[in-house]
Amino acid sequence: MMLEVQDLHVYYGAIKALKGINFHLDKGEIVALIGANGAGKSTTLNTISGLLRARHGKIIFEGKDITRAPAPDIVRMGIAQVPEGRKIFATLTVMENLEIGAFIHNDQEQIRKDMETVFKRFPRLSERRNQLGGTLSGGEQQMLAIARGLMTRPKLLLLDEPSMGLAPVLVEQIFEIIQEINQQGTSILLVEQNAQMALSIADRAYVLETGNVIMEDEGYKLLENPQVIEAYLGGRH
Amino acid sequence: MRSSIVAPRLSLTQKIVQTKIIGKALIALVALAVLYLLAVNAIKNPTVFLQQLVNGLQLGFVYALIALGYTMVYGIVRLINFAHGDVFMVGAFISFYAISRFQLHDWVAKLSPGMSPFVARAIGSITVILLSMTLCALLAFVIERVAYKPLRDAPRISALITAIGVSFFLEYFGALKFVFSPNFTPYKRPFDVVTWTLGRQGFGKLVEGEGVPEGNIIFSNIFVIIVLTSIFLLLLLQYIVTKTRVGKAMRATAYDKPTARLMGINIDSIISITFGIGAAWAGAAGMLYATAFPQVFFWMGIIPGLKAFVAAVLGGIGSIPGAFVGALIMGQAETLSAGYISTPMRDAIAFSILIIVLLIRPTGIFGEPSREKA
């Protein structure tokens, strides 16, 4: 197991956001966490990334307990997050955003190569490399956010709502890219409200509801699960 | 077709209030009066006017060095660091002790007497300014760790009040007899003042005891040193912020701390470095200011600190070029109002600028950079 989350409890002040969730992810998998607003999906990712503190429970990554590790250390171990709402640095250029992604690395030669790879994958970013991040369109910003995450050379990529606010064509493009990244050996933990898209590419998925995992199965099976169809896929298609 | 929505008819008073016409007219009137005053005086006696500009430039560059610290710290932790002016004061005192007590400015001359005195003094003075900068940076690290870091997640007003507390602490700790003493102390410059004249006849050296030739402006080596040092430090800062790894991390941290952490940036060290750089620049300003106005005093940081703060607001707090431009404007405003209105009025006018900026353009000249679209 690459990542194992055991009985995770997280609070925002007095409000309990995660009520003891368990899940795991094997190397090379795409695992999706789906659920409505407030189910605790982003909270889970932020706790893994070290931005939030767990009150109980454990997060184990490649055999190491990372529950109490600070966020910068977690990136160094190989877990990168592409945050919800993209959160690119609007006042930095596209290049600088990518350089910040490579902040934890010092080997200039390899960073340059990574950058070339990223620009090959996202030619739009290459065209706009000297533009400020804030001037990009929503889709370009999402690409930049993913590219910036890749610059950290992650073993595990956490993606928080990558389809948010994007046109359907772009959503498909982004999901293709996610699959490509996965095929090249990066494991992926995907949080999505767009359950349809997420389940269609996920090896396995967990359904979260108000801080609990209520279902777990292989992606395509959940797509056919009547309960899931009812609650998250908008009835029958 | 007639529109169904009818614009509500405004009464005259409502119009006046809504368009803020009176305030705008008043400001326009003041601006015109100032321009008129300046133009009349510039035509009547261009030499004096140019001389004022030169003096204002010297002051403006010192303010710029202080203002950079305000603006950088505000940019990264959204804190008006009111202790910054007192760090400037400490910088002046450090250079004072280094020169008067330890003769640090003379070390090269003592070690190798054969060296040209100019070079020896230059290296010695640079040593002193570097010492001031380093110690001020260390002081700022300590202040940040002890006073501000524990309040990082507290409401902003708590940190602001703490900054005022730190400011008082530095002032009155400095006023103690065994620290900096409560008295004005004459400052010994690390080099002798040389004054030059510049006029139609060309460039010349002012001989001591002789008057300034008619139609000439004068400037000293202090002016040259202040301008060159400030420009160098400004460019260095610009380079650090835009080109280096730390600078980029500083900008990322200023923009979005949680995301910066997700990229592996240790925001605590970045914040410390920002405080350190700001304080180092203020330390340099302290030495330059004391060289230009040769006395040191434990309250000497208050007024230059506040003026630099106004400069930072005027330029757009958070913006580095803004701080620089704002400071140059403040320098001119101060010397011109001292020259053409009255000396005691210069502080009143400087702070009126703050009020006017806050009224008509609170974001300052350069404003905040545009935010990411939602």
Domain CATH for B186: 1.10.3470
Q: Residue B12 CB: number of other CB atoms within 10 A?
A: 7
Question: Going by C-beta distance under 8 Å and a sequence separation of 6 or more, which residues neighbour residue B289?
Answer: B62, B88, B92, B300, B304
- Per mean pLDDT, which range of A63-72, A203-212, A223-232 is the poorest? A223-232
pLDDT (0 to 100) of residue B6: 65
Taking all residues of chain A, what is their mean pLDDT, rounded to a whole number?
94
Q: For residue B303, is pLDDT > 90?
A: yes
* B212: its two tokens: 């300034």
Residue contacts between A and B (CB atoms, under 8 Å):
76
Q: Which residues of A touch B260 (CB under 8 A)?
A: 100
Residue B95 lies in a domain: yes
For the stretch A177-223, pLDDT in tens is: 999 999 999 999 999 988 999 999 999 999 999 999 999 999 899 98
CA distance B65 to B123: 21
Q: For residue B39, is pLDDT > 60?
A: yes
- Judge contact between B233 and B65, C-beta under 8 A: yes
Closest by Cβ to B262, choosing from A71, A133, A138: A71
pLDDT (0 to 100) of residue A236: 53
Residue B69 lies in a domain: yes
Closest by Cβ to B249, choosing from A103, A138, A148: A103
pLDDT (0 to 100) of residue A228: 87
Q: Show the domain range for B278.
A: 18-360
Can you tell me the mean pLDDT for A67-73? 96
Q: How confident is the model at residue A5 (pLDDT cuts 50, 70, 90)?
A: very high
Residue B9 lies in a domain: no
Could you say which DSSP state residue A202 is in? -
Q: How confident is the model at residue B370 (pLDDT cuts 50, 70, 90)?
A: very low
For the stretch B40-98, pLDDT in tens is: 989 998 999 999 999 999 999 999 999 999 999 999 999 999 999 999 999 999 999 99
For the stretch A123-136, pLDDT in tens is: 999 999 999 999 99
Total number of domains constituting chain B: 1
B210 touches chain A (CB under 8 A): no
Q: For residue A20, is pLDDT > 90?
A: yes
CA distance B78 to A40: 30
Adjacency order of strands within the sheet including A187-192: A79-82, A156-160, A187-192, A30-34, A204-209, A212-218
pLDDT (0 to 100) of residue B150: 96
CB-based contact B261 A81, cutoff 8 Å: no
Q: For residue B207, is pLDDT > 90?
A: no
pLDDT (0 to 100) of residue B2: 53
CA distance A216 to B302: 64
Element spanning A217, H or E: strand A212-218
Q: How confident is the model at residue A38 (pLDDT cuts 50, 70, 90)?
A: confident
Residue B167 lies in a domain: yes
Residue B374 lies in a domain: no
Tell me the ipTM for this assembly: 0.94
SS3 A88: coil
CB-based contact A100 B263, cutoff 8 Å: yes
CB-based contact A89 B251, cutoff 8 Å: yes
Element spanning B36, H or E: helix B21-44
For the stretch B320-337, pLDDT in tens is: 999 999 999 999 999 999
- Judge contact between B299 and B47, C-beta under 8 A: no
CB-based contact A50 B264, cutoff 8 Å: no
Q: Which residues of B touch A104 (CB under 8 A)?
A: 263-264
Residue B371 lies in a domain: no
Can you tell me the mean pLDDT for B15-30? 81
pLDDT (0 to 100) of residue B372: 39
Q: Which residues of B touch A87 (CB under 8 A)?
A: 256, 258-259
Closest by Cβ to A90, choosing from B248, B260, B372: B372
Q: How confident is the model at residue A66 (pLDDT cuts 50, 70, 90)?
A: very high
For the stretch B261-288, pLDDT in tens is: 999 999 999 999 999 999 999 999 999 9
How far away is chain A from the Cα of B253, in angstroms, using its nearest Cα? 9
Residue B8 lies in a domain: no
Residue B4 lies in a domain: no
CA distance B78 to A151: 29
Residue of chain B minimizing CA distance to A80:
B262
Structural domains in chain A plus CATH codes: 3-232 (3.40.50.300)
Taking all residues of chain B, what is their mean pLDDT, rounded to a whole number?
91
CA distance A4 to A116: 33
Can you tell me the mean pLDDT for A149-167? 95
